[in-house]
Structure 1
Amino acid sequence: MTSQPSASQPRASRLPPSGPSCCEEFAQVGLSRRGFLGGAMATGVATTFGSTVVQVASAPGADAAPAPARAVMVVLSLRGAADGLSLVVPHGDPVYARARPRIAVPAERLLAKDDFFGLHPSLAPLLGMWDSGRMAAVHAAGLPARNRSHFSAMEELEAAAPGSATRSGWLNRLIGADRNPSPLQALQLGGGTPPAALYGPQPFLSASSIENVKLAGADQWDTRKGRPRSLRTLWASQKDGLGAAMQAAFTAVDTFEPARTSSTTPSHGATYPGNDLGRALAQVARVVRSGVGTEVVTVDHGDWDMHTDVGNLEWGAMKRNAGEVAGALAAFFTDLGPLGDTVTVVCLSEFGRRVVENANWGLDHGYGTVMLLLGAGVRGGYHGRWPGLSAGPDSDLLVTTDYRSVLAEVVRARFATSTASVFPGFTPSRVGAMVGQ
């Protein structure tokens, strides 16, 4: 058993220096996902330009210029299994404080508190959105069955079709519904492998940054633009699948130019935190402003695998991570200004943490967690059906809301799309977290 410091002791020296905090599986999940995505779900053709990947379908029309966006949805994945009981605290459940004698958030410090729930104080930058009814929390949400494996749970969450023979991600099915998509309709920003939610027959774009959405070598040294001209000439005569993929990639790069060359200065006085999530969301805002037809953007944030050092309000990984998310999202909506009325952000995680804290000021793999919705179409407040907590050593927050029911409301409200093709074989239950649903 690890010896424990006092709650008031400065914590900087106790935090993990970098990378995943515990699970070897989580440390390897990027590699595991990459191997998985290289298999059955990657049914299109991937064309790589430098650090940019354009995944294109073999179907006709994949090289079409994008139509105007119907809406914009940003899916923010909290990788590593975020503890919903810390982010949105059920202070009205008497088991909560007893199960977490050192890491429970005191009820008197909670924000937006009602008789039962309250927000973690590190979410303070989002309090304005909450008070204006533009932020919602759906508690006790998650997968239909327990799955404590990061890799397996991520795969299930992002396929969103358990028991189905479908081998594509839910976002790929969404962008293919009711229209012929272009590679710019869905975008993954940041390092690492694109999420399984995007993989399938429909095209999408993946880039470490929007500045990298260009032809490799097409830089200041190519003063006569010879490389792009040569590449286009080379592939113009190719009529096979690879030739079609290259033509689609050229179209994507050309059409994305307004986003790539847009101003890097945030609007409306927004100031982004200087972390990876802040930088990623600053680029998402540039994409939205440029109007290149992007409807779906995925961004990852981690590490939420807090087997150790969850901490309290003075120190710890929860305070740090919650603050990073809140600061970045608040800056994002400030930056967008009125355009924020066209954007919905969905925050979700593969599963939650146990009810009872462990010996290392941490929490082990659990089940239910919380989903956060922000922006356009959101009906603010607390949603979901509370199952009650128990304090056994392996006790979980049970799931009373299938996460697909929440996503289905977003899909219907924002994209006016039937959910039957996006979530095959699933009948959503009403959650009420989106206006009109």
Structure 2
Amino acid sequence: MRITRRGFVKGGALALVGTSTIPSFLTRSVMAEVTTASANKKKLVVLFQRGAADGLNIVVPYREKNYYTMRPSLAIKPEQILDLDGFFGLHPSMASFKPLYEQGHLAIVHATGSPDMTRSHFDAQDFMESGTPGLKATADGWLNRALQEEKLREESPFRAVALGGQVPRTLQGKLPAIAISNLQDFSVGGRGPNPSPMSNAFQQMYADSVDAVLHGTGQETFEAVRMLKSADPAHYTPANGAAYPNTPFGNSMKQIAQLLKANLGVEAAFADIGDWDTHQNQGNVNGRLANRLKEFSDSIAAFWKDMGDDTENITLVTMSEFGRTARQNGTGGTDHGHGNVMFVLGGNVKGGKVYGRWPGLENEQLNEGRDLAVTTDFRRVLGEAAYKTLGAKDLKLVFPNANVQSQQFLNFL
């Protein structure tokens, strides 16, 4: 296998996956100590529901008569709803979210989405992650730009981290970011008498290279390995009896908790969860969507419980590329729609409330006669989270051409 220098570097970041990608010579690497973020540093966690989640069955407008007319077999009955405010209610699979809402930690923003009307998963995800709907030429992600305003004298290599096999579009950009599939594998690899070919190749390239990009990224990588190894992730036990679902997303949330607790200087963390594209056999109180919602909400609730008092410094926000049609289709599912719902969780969140202007579900109120209309641009939600959590005051940098201003915030923080 031919490995190039540039093959290790993508979007200003190095994605490390598995022990075989990290050479044995790293054990001999000695770096100066990097000062981590202070204990009271605010942290932003961004979660992406890939596939277009059905916001109308996640936070149900159960007082809308047309909701039941349009979804004769998919609608959640009023007596099955976890009531929130007499108009909206949670899907019953999201019981673990109800206490967070009642305690004032969880806010909901309904009828959110992009001003771009695409129904393409790829384009919509790209536009949301770049933060520039309709513009495909944007080179970096909104969260990377949000972190660029504050230039630290001594930056942690873990300042921006993603759980997964590669750095997501959201975090690509000038500021280095790291992708991790598994914390226990993010360690010194290539041990033993037969180190992997990739380890040898990386070691030789680093030793021989005059490439400044490779040298810079390599140094950040070595420091990241040393710091995470000292945090001993293999022996982590969740606090306060938190029980994460034994699923990829549950594991991602547990590992984000590990990273935040290890005081490695994390300011922004990203994870995603797929399989929200419910064209067929979506189900109502049971079924495919219900199972996904239980995993989603239980994982986030376990993270909240695990973080304990540290939740005062955390803001968590969820997003999906678009919602689904108001009417069910002929195969027991819903098709690509428009407006959707976002959750915001945090110690400083003014929760226990559904934010945003509700557009209604009467036929004449639907977008293009088929979807929940968007009344809150998703960038207003992300902008407020970045502004008040990360201190990203230059919203023109974070969301160019969006005209997101602090006086337009919903003030859920």
Inter-partner Cα distance in structure 2 for 1:389 and 1:214: 52
User: For 1:174 and 1:53, how far apart are their aligned partners in 2?
Assistant: 29
Q: For the Cα contact (< 8 Å) 1:188–1:194, is it kept in 2? A: yes
Match of 1:183 among 138, 153, 157: 157
RMSD: 2.9
The one-letter code of the counterpart of 1:129 is L
Q: 1:183-204 CA deviation, whole Å, 9 max, x = no partner?
A: 311111134x432111112101
Secondary structure, counterpart of 1:103 in structure 2: coil
CA contact (8 A) 1:266 1:335 kept: yes
Choose from 306, 313, 318 the match for 2:289: 318
1:78 aligned to which of 40, 49, 53: 49
Q: TM-score, normalised by structure 1?
A: 0.80
Does 1:378 find its partner at 2:349? yes
Displacement after TM superposition at 1:432 (Å):
2.3
Equivalent residue number for residue 409 of structure 1: 384
What residue in structure 2 maps to residue 277 of structure 1?
A: 249
Q: How many residues align?
A: 381
Secondary structure at 1:136 match in 2:
strand
Contact 1:142/1:369 (8 A) holds in 2: yes
Alignment partner of 1:423 out of 389, 399, 402: 399
User: Which ranges of structure 2 fall in alignment gaps of 5 or more residues?
Assistant: 1-6, 23-31
**2:228 paired residue among 256, 278, 283:** 256
- Residues 273 and 44 (structure 1 numbering): CA distance in 2 closer, same or farther, change over 3 Å? closer
Matched, 1:196 2:174: no
Decide whether the 8 Å contact of 2:206 with 2:218 is kept in 1.
no
What residue identity is the alignment partner of 1:143? S
- Note the alpha carbon deviations across 1:270-313, whole angstroms, 9 max, x for none: 11111111111111111111110011111111200000111121
Name the CA distance, whole Å, in 2 between partners of 1:432 and 1:45: 33
Is the 2:147–2:392 Cα contact (8 Å) retained in structure 1?
no
What secondary structure, in the 3-state scheme, does the structure 1 residue paired with 2:226 have? helix
The verdict on how the C-alpha distance between 1:310 and 1:394 changes in structure 2, with shifts beyond 3 A counting, is: farther
- 2:48–2:271: 8 Å Cα contact kept in structure 1? yes
Q: Deviations over 1:88-119 (max 9, x none)?
A: 01112221111101111112221133232111
TM-score, length-scaled by structure 2: 0.84
Deviation at 1:163, TM superposition (A): 5.9
Change (3 A) 1:350 1:394: same
What is the CA–CA distance in structure 2 between the aligned matches of 1:75 and 1:265, rounded to whole Å?
A: 23
Q: Percent identity?
A: 36
Task: Tell me how far 1:43 sits from its aligned partner.
Answer: 4.2
Contact 2:13 2:217 in 1 (8 A): yes
Which residue identity is paired with 1:44?
A: G
What amino acid is the match of 1:87? Answer: I
> In the alignment, is the contact (CA less than 8 A) between 1:168 and 1:197 conserved in 2?
yes
Matched, 1:338 2:309: yes
Report the 3-state secondary structure (helix = DSSP H, G, I; strand = E; otherwise coil) of the residue aligned with 1:279. Answer: helix
Distance 1:262 1:239 in 2: 34
Q: Which residue of 1 aligns with 2:239?
A: 267
Superimposed CA distance per residue, residues 362-389 of structure 1 (whole angstroms, 9 cap, x where no aligned partner): 0000001000111232111100011111
2:265 to 293, 296, 303: 293
Deviation at 1:357, TM superposition (A): 0.5
Letter in 2 for 1:383: Y
Contact 1:185 1:296 (C-alpha < 8 Å) held by counterparts: yes
CA deviation digits over 1:249-270, x for unaligned, max 9? 1122112224443632211111
Q: Which residue is equivalent to 2:185?
A: 212
Tell me the SS of whatever aligns to 1:426. Answer: coil
Hey, what does 2:12 align to over in structure 1? 44
SS of residue matched to 1:210: coil
